[in-house]
Every structure is written in structure tokens, then in C-alpha cells.
Amino acid sequence: MSLPNQRVIPALRITDDVLSKAYYVEKLGFSVEWEHRFEPHFPVFMSICRDGMRLYLTQHSGDCEPGGLVHFVVEDVAALYKELQERGAVVRVAPNDDLGFLCMTVQDPDGNQLCFMEPPPNHPSDS
């Protein structure tokens, strides 16, 4: 059995599944892998992914609180920034290297932040 590259899947709390799904799919380019509800009108728990990055989005109040922060390592922050602008996403913190590496931050409708960062060229990779 081969393990996936991403071995931890963060969960972010959402309050409106229709609004959040539209934001993550249309503005950030994620795809919905699956959705689960115990009953038709119960809270949703879903898995979304994009380019090997996976998140769980949950409406279940006991899972976590809105306002989380997740960091993703991507190959090209500038290219992603351009794509997200073309999709109409609001980038909360434009690409910068204030931390010693290129990064940018977007914020979803519930205040969760996604920081996309590009490791420095001489950064050792984890194996």
C-alpha cells in the first residue's frame, strides 16, 4: 500500500455549505471529492482537493471553530496568485517574502485562512 504525500488532513469549520463549496470550487479551484450527511438536512462533512492538497470542510460545531489557519506548500506562488485573481478570489495578503520565503494568504467566507507558501530554493525537502 502506498501512502499519499499529504499525511495530515486539516479540517476547517464552515457555516454555509453552499457558500463555502462555491468559494472553494469556483474561486480557489478545489474539487469536491465527497460529501457526507447523516440525514438530508443535517450538517455536511466534505473532502475537497486541489493539486495534492486536501482539506475537510465541516459544518459540525463540535469538530472545530471557524477562523482556522492552514499552510500549504506550492511550487509557484506567483502563478497561483495570478490564477486566483483571474477566478475573482480576494487575496487577503498578496505575495510577499516577509518571512524569508514567498507566501500569500486568502480567507474563506467563515474567516478561515489559507496560506500558500513557496519554500526557498535551498530548503531541504522532507523524505
Q: Chain centroid to CA 8: how far?
A: 13
Residue 42 has pLDDT above 80, yes or no: yes
Who contacts 105 (Cβ-Cβ below 8 Å, separation ≥6)? Answer: 91, 92, 93, 113, 114, 115, 116
pLDDT tens per residue across span 2-34: 555 778 999 999 999 999 999 999 999 999 999
Q: Mean per-residue pLDDT for 49-60?
A: 96
- Rounded distance between C-alpha atoms, residue 110 and residue 102, angstroms: 25
Q: In the CATH scheme, what is the code of domain 11-118?
A: 3.10.180.10
Decide if 10 contacts 34 (C-beta within 8 A): no
| 23 φ, ψ (degrees, to nearest 5) | -65, -50
Task: Please give the pLDDT value at position 124.
Answer: 56
Q: Please say whether the beta carbons of 70 and 55 come within 8 A.
A: yes
Residue-wise pLDDT for 83-123, tens only, equals 999 999 989 999 999 888 899 999 999 999 999 999 876 65
Is a pLDDT exceeding 70 seen at residue 64?
A: yes
